[in-house]
Structure 1
């Protein structure tokens, strides 16, 4: 620990006290039975705060910055254990709606032999949305479609070529 942190600890009293929503034994029980690593780290932070360590020391012990420690403590003080559970917002909304994806899937099933470039052009023409080829592959995988190396099809081949072949052989 460097001298600057010691100086801060000695000169600055703890500004926001930790609220003890549960007993220390209940906190230890939660730590022993926690499944998720992120929540477990946050519980250890709270444990160190319960033991009387400052936010800076507790943050250092679990390997986070002190602003993150202050945020975790604020969430603990406001909501208890539920405040420590990560809040995922789901990320960026998709460019295609579920209805458009269903429509795309029907169009793709109507014909075999699509290339990713053809699917990309289809999405641009039908829906006015542009995706990179990697995202096209993800969409196809989401649909349960497999993509393979395309081979050329002879446009002159009749639809009943297999039956004609059986008759002549």
Structure 2
């Protein structure tokens, strides 16, 4: 994103335009422009996260294997992975403390996505629903009668 901003600096774009296009604050763009003027493109490059290092590649691989085993294998009562559970699993496996948000960023960075199970009634009958949609609904949604003069509330008699 910062390097894209450099391209826009070079083309003469204003800070406000760059901030809107990149969806960042104008202050960030001002800071990047100052760093670019003083140190060139190298000054704009990100220095990386100031926090402690994340999990290693081997640890990520192990985490993914454990996630694929499912929550039941790790002592939870159902088959839903929540971020709180993933955070707890990371702590148990690697003795590293993550926040719930940090666990989400870690998973997202490695290609995982959140999915919420669709809730469906146990009594649900898909075949019956399809039959109803094909046969009953068209009768319920019958065409309206064609309008005849004087039948609409919006129509007023001509003034004399």
TM-score by length of 2: 0.42
Q: Say which structure is richer in helix.
A: 1
